[in-house]
Amino acid sequence: MNLALEGKNALVGGGSAGIGLATAIELSKLGACVTLISRTASSLKKALLLLDSSSGQQHSYIVADYEKPDQLANSVRSRLEGSVFHILVNNTGGPAGGALINAATSDLASALNNHLICNHLLVQELVPGMKNEGYGRIINIISTSVKEPIEGLGVSNTTRWAVAGWAKTLAGELGQFGITVNNVLPGYTHTARLDEIIVKRVAASGLSKEAVIQNMLNSVPARRFAEPAEVAAAVAFLSTPAASYINGINLPVDGGRTKSM
């Protein structure tokens, strides 16, 4: 099985922490040169120190804000300068929780900007190079909510479905060029996002933090939360030559929590 990524360049969103950083580490272990994207230079510099460079690869970062899609695209465009990113991992923080009926239209617009619009702009920048190389892997970190909406995450549910539909459409358009487009759907994973969800559920339910966590664990057949590295392993595999015929899928990494196939 060919899992080697030597000679491949990867661009990883949200690369300074959580699933993004874990993904960057896994890709570097497979030999890829990794460029991280995040808003804070100090966090990115610390993250770079965790990446594997045993294959002699050089890693780098881009300071950019997903709240400003055009600036993000311009930053990536200026970094290309004749080079190619073979792998794009679209990943950024999820929208704030709450009932969809109470969401302002500005909340929906902001979430779509951060996810769908940024994803689209980055794909447009990188796909020409992927076509020339005959190799491309676009992996979107979204949510199991594209299979089963998650209560209390109305804006996120809506946005994730939009990204899933966008990705499936692109998979059909780009497959002929050796470019795959897939979505990884994390379940409950030890990240800052999970901490936020727990806090909100405690406030909404009146239950103790321990009780909320236990209720969440009871819904997972594995009876535990995932580690970011476990989600990252799935992303890394989809980035490799071995995954060349896997295209247009939603892959849950959730310990079996999602009840739909």
* CATH number assigned to the domain comprising residue 26: 3.40.50.720
- Six-digit token pair at 89? 């991992």
What angle is formed at CA 24 by the lines to CA 221 and CA 241, rounded to 5 degrees? 85
Please give the pLDDT value at position 75: 94
Helix axes 154-174, 105-112, angle to 10 degrees: 30
CA dist 218 to 57, 153, 222, Å? 43, 20, 9
State mean pLDDT over 115-140.
Answer: 97
Please give the pLDDT value at position 261: 81
State mean pLDDT over 55-80.
Answer: 94
Please give the pLDDT value at position 95: 87
Is residue 100 one of the residues assigned to a domain?
yes
Share of the chain above pLDDT 90, in %: 90
Q: The dihedral of CA 8, 10, 16, 17: what is its sign?
A: negative
Please give the pLDDT value at position 97: 86
Residue 173 pLDDT > 90: yes
Is residue 157 one of the residues assigned to a domain?
yes
Share of the chain above pLDDT 70, in %: 100
Is residue 207 one of the residues assigned to a domain?
no
Grade residue 204 by pLDDT with cuts at 50, 70 and 90.
Answer: confident
State mean pLDDT over 9-28.
Answer: 97
Contacts of 199-206 spanning 24+ positions with Cβ under 8 A: 200/97, 200/152, 201/152, 204/152
Q: Give the least confident one: 35-49, 82-96, 175-189.
A: 82-96
Residue 82 pLDDT > 90: no
Residue 197 pLDDT > 90: no
Is residue 20 one of the residues assigned to a domain?
yes
Please give the pLDDT value at position 258: 94
What angle is formed at CA 41 by the lines to CA 40 and CA 43, rounded to 5 degrees? 70
- What is the per-residue pLDDT across 87-102, written as a single tens digit (0 to 9) for each? 999 999 888 888 999 9
Please give the pLDDT value at position 127: 98
Closest CA to 136 of 1, 34, 11, 231: 11
Residue 13 pLDDT > 90: yes
Is residue 58 one of the residues assigned to a domain?
yes
Residue 152 pLDDT > 90: no
Grade residue 33 by pLDDT with cuts at 50, 70 and 90.
Answer: very high
Give the domain range for residue 99.
Answer: 9-188+227-253
**Which three-class secondary structure state does DSSP give residue 24?**
helix
How many structural domains comprise the chain? 1
What is the C-alpha separation between 38 and 46, in angstroms, rounded? 12
Grade residue 227 by pLDDT with cuts at 50, 70 and 90.
Answer: very high
Closest CA to 38 of 102, 106, 93, 111: 93
What is the C-alpha separation between 51 and 29, in angstroms, rounded? 8
Residue 151 pLDDT > 90: no
Is residue 221 one of the residues assigned to a domain?
no
141 forms beta bridges with 184
- Buried b vs exposed e over 223-258: b needs ≥16 C-beta within 10 Å? eebbebbbbbebbbbbbbeebeeebbbbbbbbbebb
Is residue 182 one of the residues assigned to a domain?
yes
Please give the pLDDT value at position 126: 98
Is residue 92 one of the residues assigned to a domain?
yes
38 sits in the region (left: phi over 0; alpha: psi -120 to 50; else beta) called: beta
